[in-house]
Structures are given as structure tokens and as C-alpha cells.
Chains A and B, each alone.
Chain A
Amino acid sequence: MRGVEIRVHGIRQDVPPRMERIDYEIVVHTDEPDRRPELLHDNVKKCGTVFNTVAPGTDLKGVLVRAKSQQP
């Protein structure tokens, strides 16, 4: 992997005040076969301290994709 870019977008609801939903997109720059980035995403979800703290309290979802310049 040469680099990563993560875009996070949160939506706040009014009553009660809380984050209604948090979406993320992980863009990886890599030549690894598809299974490896998928495994990376699984491990990020398992090991992220803040991810593991926030996930039970809100709708936290996202995808991991390969950088567009590297897609066939």
C-alpha cells in the first residue's frame, strides 16, 4: 500500500442531539489483490479504538475502495 485517504461524513439529528449516521469511504492506493484490502477493512473495524467506541452508539458504516487510477 502506498497511501490512504479516508472521507468521513456525519449527519447530526436535532432531538435528542446526537450523530444520526456516520458514513466513511476508505480509498487505498495499492496493487494488492482484492482479498487483501478487504481483510484490511475487516481489521480496521476490529482494531480501531475510536471506531469501536462510536460504532455501538450510532449508525457507522463505510466502504473500502481502490483508488480510481488503479481500477481496471
Chain B
Amino acid sequence: MSDSNRYDLSSKQPTFFGLTKDTALKGLFGGNAFISIIVLGLITLFLFKEGAGFFGQYRESLTLYRKSGLEYVNLMRDEQNAHASLTQFLNNIQSDRSTYYSEQGMAFSDVKKELSALDGFIYDFEDLGYELESYVQEMNELVMNARDAYQSNEDYKIFKANLEREGRMDEAANVVIAPVDLATYVAQLRAGEDTFLALSQSLVSGAKELILTIPSVEGEAFQAELDRFKNVVGSFFYEVPSFEKRIREWDRSLEVGLMEGVTSFIFGREWITGSAIQDWYGVIPLLGGSLTVAGIAMFFAVPLGVGAAIYVNQVANPKEQAFIKPYIEFISAIPSVVIGFFGIAIFGEFVRFLTNHESLSWISFFPISERLNAFTAGALLALMAIPTIFTLAEDALNNVPKAYKEASSAMGATRLQTILRIMVPTALSGIISAVLLGFGRVIGETMVVLLCAGNRIALPDFTKGLGAAFEPVHTMTGIIAQELGEVEHGSIHYRALFMIGLTLFCLSLLINYVAQKIVIKYQISRG
């Protein structure tokens, strides 16, 4: 009997490998905790290790971009693009007119006839830029070839080094490395500067002449647009010297700053990969997309989640409670890929169908043509954030001491007054941290945004106001899921995706930290 009596301190416990039952159990649980911490630490370390090389590599890539003269070509392209956007302006006027006439019930052939006068002008205007464009294209080819030759030469150097390491000296000696001097190509490029400036001048003088022949059109609104076009062209003329100045002042020998890799990642407005010209890794469009989607999700999820929590905790009878609570919590059991699939197959189509309805046509940005957009993804993500917010907010309300409620009722407050003035303010810290954790859940969600957000790597056009919510966006999580599978291991693109992962990591760390701080700081005193 003595060995089963655990209060018997005198007797010896049976041991196994020198461990008693208690120490073994302690070791087991302690070991589990230890392993979890080690694994999490390793993951964090790995993230940093893979991401860390990015800034250096990116800076190197930017250096090559400058040294090879691609940057110079892009400066020339800026002027070409400015001219192209003027043509765009004219085309937009034509689009509006075409729409207008079609709505008047005119046949397309007649519409064409109506537009033809201005069409001729637009073609002439577009052709003015043609020589400049082909010059830029030609220079682009020249520089890109030089850069590619330079890069394959670098590859050959590695090849040679590999052969030498294997001790195959004869073969290594056969590998011819013809050094590519980028400077000579850039010199050639700059020798053409006068040609470019002449082309630029002839573009300006041509446009100045052509603008005098601009035909007038019917309809006051269209004429006003055309007049506006004249002003815009005027400002283009004004801008040209500054383009030319930047081209003349471009300096190849300028060092790319140490922090340039960092700043062009954090503030970069372009994420262009797999480009033949130059890859850009700017986080802004992806971060903007993630925040837009998350914002839309929170717009729906916060009132619904918190409202449901208040109802269940304060108003509902036990029967309702027994139904609503498990029901809402059940939503979180739906796999996100199923929700995403639902979004593609049904919800997106439904949103588009709704916006096409006549009763909504007074809204300027309806009907929409993309069924996969930030709104579709955001609305579905709201569904996934509601259980998190609901459960945590309900817990927070539950934690308010009963005495508060009773005291309030005893003072003669109505139930609504008690809820709004006593319960919610007291539990506010818990509710806010519930909302923050819901936000963290949304920003880290991948499958739904990958399937339903439309994957357009650009900031939504916020000048459209609420219409921006119906534009396709791409997100930080989505881009990692979409691109990481196929990028070359260790390449700059690979590391850029890890940097995105790190950004996400820091973002959720921050959210969780703030949520905990709020809970602790504003905890209700139980005194």
C-alpha cells in the first residue's frame, strides 16, 4: 500500500532512468514548451536570414541600372510617356463622344464619321511622338543588350571559377571572358544626346504648329474638354525643358546611396517583376492593397462582431445564447479556401450583378466590370474576422464584474443606459484589443485575397472616393503565395518576397503588442 500513498514522504518513489514520475512529467511538459520556443525562434531567424540579403542585392541591381545607362533611357522615356498621356487625353475625349453618340441611338458607322475630323488630328498628334519613341526603343535595345552581355559575362566568371575549383584548369582556360565595358555603351548613348534633344525640339515645334489646326467639335462639354487639352499641352511645353535638363545632368558615376535599397523598397510605388528592363520591388502597392482590403473587412466586421457580442452577452435569453454563440463560432471552422471559392463562383458575380441594377445607377462608379475586387475580398474577410471579434469582445464583456451592472440597475438606469454607459465603456479595452486581433487575422489571411482580390499590382485610385473600394488590388500575402513557388532560390526576387513576409511579421507583431498593451493598461480595477 505504501507505494500508492503519495502523502507518504518517507517512502521512495519508483524511478525510471533515475527519474521519478513527477520529474519525468515536468520534463515532458517543460520540454514541449522549450521545443515550441526553439522552433518559433528558428522560424523568425530563418525569415530574417533569407530576407536580410535583399537590401544589398537590390542596391546592387540599382547600381547596375545606373551604370548600364538604363536609368538614362528611362529619363528619355519619361518625356515620351508625357507625350503619350496627351494622346491618351484626346482618346478619352473621343471615347466620351463615342459613348454619347451611341446613346443617342446613332449607328457605329455614323459615329465613326462624326469622330473622324478629330481622329485625324489625334493620329497626327500621335505620329509626332513616333520618331522619339523609336529612338528611345532603339537606345533601350542597345543598353539592354549591353547589360545582358555584362550579366552573362558575370555568369561565365562563376562558371570559370567552378571549373577551377574542380581542378579542370585546361577547360577553365578555354572559357573566354571578354570583359564588357558598360562605359563605352553609355558613351555611345550619350553621344546620341543631341539627336534626342533635336527630336524633342522637333516634337515641341511640331506640336505647337499642329495645335493651331485643332478642329472644333459639337457640344459645349466636349469643346471645353478640348480647350482644357490646349492648356495641358501648354504645360507639357513648359515641362519639356525640365526633362531635357534632367537628361543633360544625368551622371553615371553617381554612387547609389547605401540606404537606397531600403528606401526604394519602403517607399517604392512599383512592384514589377519578370521585366526585361528592370525589376522594381516597392512595397507600397501591396501594402496599400492589404490595408484597403482589411479596412473594408473591418468596416463590416466591427459593428457586426461587437454588436453581436453585446446582444448575446447582455440582451439575449439563454436559448438564443445557446444558438447564436456556437453558430457564429462555427464560421471560423470553414476553411478559407472554401470561402474564396464561394467568392469566385457566387459572391463576386452577385456583387457585379447588384451594381448593374438600375436602382443603383445613380452611383457614379457603378456598374463595375470586375467581379474580383477589394470589396469582394473584404466582405468575405469580414466573415472570417467576425468570429474572432465576437468571441473576444464577448469575453471582455463577461469580465465586467457583475456588481457594476447591478449597481447601475439599482440606481434606476434602464438596460440600454447600463449597456451603453457602464458595460461597453468598462469593457472597451477588451473590445478594442478584440478588434485589433480581428484586424491581424484579416491582414494575414491569404487564400481569400489570392482568389478574390483581383490581383492588380497597383494602388487603387483613391481620387474616385468610395469607387476605389471596387478596384482590384493585390496583397502582401497574395503575392508571396503566387510568386514564391517558382522564383529562383536565393535570387533578389526570392529575397524580396521574404522582405514582404518580414513586413507582415512586423505588422502583426505590432498589432498584437498594441492589443496586449491596451488590455493591460486599461484593465478595469476589481477593487
A, B bound: no
